[in-house]
Amino acid sequence: MFRTLLHVFQVKELRNKLLFTLGMLAVYRIGFWIPLPGVDQASMVQFFQKAVESESAAGRAAQYVAIFSGGSFSQSTIFGLGIMPYITASIIFQLVASVSPALKKIQEEGPTGRAKVTEWTRYATVGLCIVQGIGWLSYIRASHLVLPQYAANPVWWITALAALTAGTVFLMWLGEQIDRFGIGNGVSLIITAGILTGMPSAIMRIYQTYDPSGGDGLNALGVLMLAGGFVLVVGGAVLLTVAQRRIPIQQAKHTRGRRVYGGQRSYLPLRINHSGVMPIIFASSLMIFPSVIFEAIANAARTAGDGWWTVWLAKLGDWFQMGQFPYVICYVIMVYFFSYFWITVQFNPEDMSKQLRDHGSFIPGLRPGPRTAEYLEAVIGRITFVGASFLAIIAVLPMVVNKSLNIDFSVTQFLGGTGLLIVVSVTLDLLQRIEANLLMRNYAGFLGGEEAKSAPRVRGPRG
């Protein structure tokens, strides 16, 4: 491991890419501390701390948004909206391309078509920033978190909205610069950096609640169980991310003169978790709405008076609180639904069978064409069920631990859920890119002993 790390810094180009990436992430964290003008930051921090401690729907919504904004939503900085509007715009265009032949044709034009779609995504990001910014500013103004001299000033509205929009656009530009001059996916690394910033506060929370006498806090056995659970869940997330179902592919033989070409055997890798973290993101975002709505209805019913309907509405509001059994059941169902929905949008068995046929390849024992498409559809359906099952377990694990062991959700969220899967997938992608660069520059760096001395060096185009 240390030898590999040493080789990373020995290669000048790779070293510069890593340092550039770290520098851009440092710029992102610096902007995290620049507050919006006219907002009472101390009152806002207290407001969201009370919402989180009371386990209200607003507090859970703030925690969910903090995953993608790095916690800046509760502090209302210029990066308050985070990179989420850009991700939302990208997802919208991916979904539209799956049902719109015109947009799909533009994407298939190559670099020119992808550049057009990227430009439209940027414009859509600005529009979403304006809509979300107006909603967020209206919410904090209604909650009396804006200084009185700015609350009714139109100049403040324009300035604050422009700052939020410019912050998201800057993060979008920052991600593109990492893609161009750094290493790794820029947008994913920004999200990962925002998630990992919550880990020190979670460790501090464990330290504050630690009680060696075994009282109301965590004892030594509880801390060991948390650490062991974290290691097991991370290992399961890695396994879920890299697991594949390999379908054997046979290439047809071609005879030209006296030579025979083709005939090689390969495989078609189908990922067990083809949809990645998207089902959890969709399910989590949609489950916020019934929680907020039913909680508001239950609170209104309690204040309205006594009656059988008041009791039932209050129970309905309690059922859809995070961690309750009906909430967990609905959450798991939505994870399964969006797993199959996303695989239907992203994977087309008919197109895959046509590509295999056009390239002179086939699956042994199956005729090219509709029979191959039916087989691929059946296989992807079965492995999606397995992937969705593991995904549902990882998604609900933080809520189960939070309710059963009475551990703060800021700690249990690192035992699963959206944040952990994003960190694992992005870290694996970054490591694969670093290894690919090292293999390209100096293959012998991975060999040891006499093999490293005798192996010839594979030089790049610049030596």
Q: Which tens digit of pLDDT belongs to each residue from 409-436?
A: 777 777 767 778 888 888 888 888 888 8
CB 181 within 8 A of CB 20: yes
Eight-state DSSP code of residue 218 = B
For residue 398, the Cα-to-chain-centroid distance in whole angstroms is 16
Low-confidence winner among 106-115, 330-339, 454-463 (lowest mean pLDDT): 454-463
pTM above 0.85, yes or no: no
Predicted confidence band of residue 165 (pLDDT cuts 50, 70, 90): very high
**Placement of tokens 């539209």 in the chain:** 96
Give the range with max mean pLDDT: 196-210, 254-268, 347-361, 378-392: 378-392
Predicted confidence band of residue 455 (pLDDT cuts 50, 70, 90): very low
Q: What is the mean pLDDT of residues 248-276?
A: 78
User: Rounded CA gap, 249 and 363, in Å?
Assistant: 5
Q: Which two three-digit tokens encode residue 283?
A: 């399910």
Predicted local confidence at residue 463, as pLDDT: 43
The more confidently predicted of residues 457 and 27 is 27
Is-same-fold flag (11-196; 235-463)?
Answer: yes
Look at residue 379 and tell me whether its pLDDT is greater than 80: yes
Predicted confidence band of residue 124 (pLDDT cuts 50, 70, 90): very high
User: In the chain, what percentage of residues exceed pLDDT 90?
Assistant: 7
Look at residue 103 and tell me whether its pLDDT is greater than 50: yes
**What is the torsional sign of CA 379, 381, 384, 386?**
negative
Predicted local confidence at residue 61, as pLDDT: 63
> Measured between alpha carbons, how far is residue 217 from residues 67, 204, 211 in Å?
26, 13, 5
Taking residue 460's Cβ as centre, other Cβ atoms within 10 Å add up to: 11
Look at residue 452 and tell me whether its pLDDT is greater than 50: no
Q: Which tens digit of pLDDT belongs to each residue from 18-74?
A: 899 999 988 888 887 888 888 887 787 777 777 666 555 555 666 666 666 555 455
Predicted local confidence at residue 445, as pLDDT: 44
Give alpha helix (H) positions in 38-83.
41-53, 57-69
Backbone angles phi, psi at 450, to 5 degrees: -70, -30
Amino acid (1-letter code) at residue 93? F
Mean pLDDT of the chain: 79
CB 373 within 8 A of CB 350: yes
Predicted confidence band of residue 446 (pLDDT cuts 50, 70, 90): very low
Q: Which two three-digit tokens encode residue 335?
A: 């994870």
Query: What is residue 86's three-state secondary structure?
Result: helix
The more confidently predicted of residues 71 and 265 is 265
Question: Does the 235-463 domain belong in CATH 1.10.3370.10?
Answer: yes
Look at residue 246 and tell me whether its pLDDT is greater than 60: yes
Predicted confidence band of residue 456 (pLDDT cuts 50, 70, 90): very low
User: In the chain, what percentage of residues exceed pLDDT 70?
Assistant: 83
Of the candidates 122, 124, 127, 129, which has an alpha carbon nearest to the alpha carbon of residue 161? 129
Backbone angles phi, psi at 303, to 5 degrees: -80, -15
Predicted local confidence at residue 216, as pLDDT: 65
User: Rounded CA gap, 65 and 71, in Å?
Assistant: 8
Predicted confidence band of residue 214 (pLDDT cuts 50, 70, 90): low
CB 91 within 8 A of CB 97: no
Domain ranges of the chain: 11-196, 235-463
Predicted local confidence at residue 460, as pLDDT: 44
As beta bridge partners, residue 44 has none
Give alpha helix (H) positions in 305-348.
308-319, 325-346
**Placement of tokens 């929009």 in the chain:** 165
For the domain 11-196, what is the CATH code? 1.10.3370.10
Cα angle for residues 408, 414, 415 (degrees, 5° grid): 90
Q: What is the mean pLDDT of residues 348-353?
A: 86
